[in-house]
Structure 1
Amino acid sequence: MPIRLIAVDMDGTFLNSRKSYNKERFDKLYQRMVEKDIRFVVASGNQYYQLRSFFPEIQNDIAFVAENGAYVVDRNKELSVGEMSAETIEKVLKIFRDLNAYPQLVVCGKNSAYVDLSASDYFYEKTREYYHRLKRVASFSGIEDTIFKFTANFQEAELPELLEHFRKEVGDVVSPVSSGHGSIDFIIPGLHKASGIQLLQKEWHISDEETAAFGDSGNDIEMLQHVAYSFAMANAAEPVKQAAKYLTASNNEDGVLVAMERLLEME
């Protein structure tokens, strides 16, 4: 059965360690995809506005599963917008207050992302790399926006213990998942990259057997388990490799583009 949809994670997957990709090589592949009516989907935990910036020429022609599935947009048309309840937001904020971790917390909304005034200038500037719309706020409570995700950065060695702690404390209202490089995302249960892909598949009448996906981190696992052609990067975390059916080269070796070429040849 021919491939009709290819979904890619960005950091650690489509993007190399310099936060770029082989544009000339991808452009040639994308033209072949257009000719074959194969959809290209960017599926990432990052902000929609940041993701668009990587594809200036085609950003209005492709689909985005942003914020780990909370915001799904197809050719500038919103298909799904998740929203956390006020009770959920306050419960998550409380656990960060108790940890004294406000300086490393990002609250992700539809219109912007937000960091506390206590966050360092360094943290603010690093966060701007992933959230092109970012504001400092005196209080996270009462932000007038549709909130669909929290994210926070920790030491890599702390992640297993912290994930267990967060799942115990707030796992009934949000799903804490590792998103790579020491980050933990707190997402709306049931809204993840796989749910976003499913929504697009339904919209386009594309089956799981006609879909390929690429990832490297814990927040890619549902997506990789969902599709027939699932690829883990050579640099992926071990649980991600176990979830995928296939392995490709690392993100610094154009691993996604290498596999895409093979998928198109398979056509």
Structure 2
Amino acid sequence: MTIKMIAVDMDGTFLNSQQDYDREKFNELYQEMKRQGVRFVIASGNQYYQLKSFFPGIEDELSFVAENGAFVVSEGKEVFTGEINHNVIHEVLTILADFDQGHTILCGKNSAYIAENEPASFVDHGKKYYHRLKKVPSLLDVQDDTLFKFALSFPVEQVTDVLKQLHAALGDKVIPVSSGHGDVDLIIPGIHKAHGLMKLQELWGVKNHEIAAFGDSGNDLEMLKHAGYSYVMSNGHPTVKVAAKEIILSNDENGVLIKIEELIGK
């Protein structure tokens, strides 16, 4: 087994329920990954500026497939940026206005945006995942940014039905994917975590069978199917578990780090 790239989702996978990880253990494994020439990639639906805050001191050595693949940054340099054109943005916002239980954040390269009339509880929820979050009078007014994702939030019990309704309403303008905890992302067709990994593979000459990927939610499916070695957390969604080669310990049991230790033979 030769692993040259390890790609990890964050929420529900690499991070525990306290939104943290065993930093001492990770640092020890990271030094060994560096020694072996194994690339460590963070692949998440979250914002780049939020993701890099979890890795102080080494963030410019790492690679990030952020925003579900719409923004890929490696060693501090931009590798790929997706874009949804403004006409589609307006069409989608008009459709979303009919989903009265939903809340929306519009995600761009420079910042994420939230309407001023959103409740404070949703603004606070958004700030956890979007360290750059600007309030605007209306999402229709956002102009001076490259926009590439919608992040929606619904009551958890509605998500399954909402996903079906969104698929029907949106056609192929954008693709709805579940990212756990009542969150749904609308992503550019064909631009997902696996696409982001492919961009990095081109840079590094890494083959699919040399990748180990870890995830737990619907937005990890393409990445798990793409990687030669795929692992889903025991706390993962049932529909995602069937896509992986192996189900491992949960995010609260250090599942990812224990498996990485095994993979790199430390």
Q: Distance in 1 between matches of 2:86 and 2:192?
A: 20
Look up the SS of the partner of 1:129 in the other structure: helix
Q: 1:212 & 1:90 partners in 2: Cα distance? A: 38
For 2:195 and 2:126, the matched residues in 1 are separated by 26
Quote the residue 1:136 is aligned against. 135
- The within-5 A match list for 1:58-137 is 58-100=58-100, 104-137=103-136
| Residue type at the aligned position of 1:132 | H
Answer with 143-152 or 217-226: which moved more.
143-152
Write the deviation string for residues 162-205 of structure 1: whole angstroms up to 9, x where unpaired: 11111111131100000001111000000000000011111100
The answer to whether structure 1 residue 3 and structure 2 residue 9 are counterparts is no
In the comparison of the two structures, how many residue pairs are matched?
Answer: 265
Deviates more, 1:115-124 or 1:54-63: 115-124
Residue identity matched to 1:16:
N
Within a 5 Å distance, the mapping from 1:70-219 to structure 2 comes to 70-100=70-100, 104-143=103-142, 144-219=144-219
Residue identity opposite 2:48 in structure 1: Y
Q: For 1:140 and 1:58, how far apart are their aligned partners in 2?
A: 34
TM-score, normalised with respect to structure 2:
0.97
The one-letter amino acid paired with 1:99 is F
**Match of 2:93, SS?**
helix
3-state DSSP class of the match of 1:213?
Answer: strand
Residue 101 (structure 1) shift: 5.3
| Residues 101 and 159 (structure 1), Cα distance of their counterparts in 2 relative to 1, 3 Å cut | closer
What SS is found at the alignment partner of 1:141? helix
Aligned to 2:223: 223
Single out whichever of 154-163 and 63-72 deviates more from structure 2. 154-163
Distance 1:171 1:204 in 2: 35
Give the whole-Å Cα distance in 1 for the aligned partners of 2:100 and 2:256: 39
SS of residue in 2 equivalent to 1:243: coil
Structure 2: gaps spanning 5 or more residues:
none
- Give the aligned residue type for 1:85: N
CA-atom RMSD in angstroms: 1.1
**Is 2:13 aligned against 1:18?**
no
The Cα of 1:98 is off from its aligned counterpart by 2.2
- Whole-Å Cα distance in 1 between the matches of residues 265 and 220 of structure 2? 25
Moved over 2 A (4+): 98-102
Determine the C-alpha separation between the residues in 1 that align with 2:231 and 2:184. 22
State the Cα distance separating 1:99 from its structure 2 match. Answer: 2.4
Distance 2:176 2:12 in 1: 19
1:265 aligned counterpart, secondary structure = coil
- Partner residue of 2:237? 237
User: Equivalents in 1 of 2:262, 2:154: separation in Å?
Assistant: 37
2:73 & 2:107 partners in 1: Cα distance? 16
Once the 2 structures are TM-superposed, how far is the Cα of residue 263 of structure 1 from its aligned partner? Answer: 0.2
Is the CA contact 2:101–2:154 (under 8 Å) kept in the aligned structure 1?
no
Q: Please tell me whether the aligned partners of residues 69 and 194 of structure 2 are also in contact (alpha carbons under 8 angstroms).
A: yes
Question: Residue type of the partner of 2:43?
Answer: A
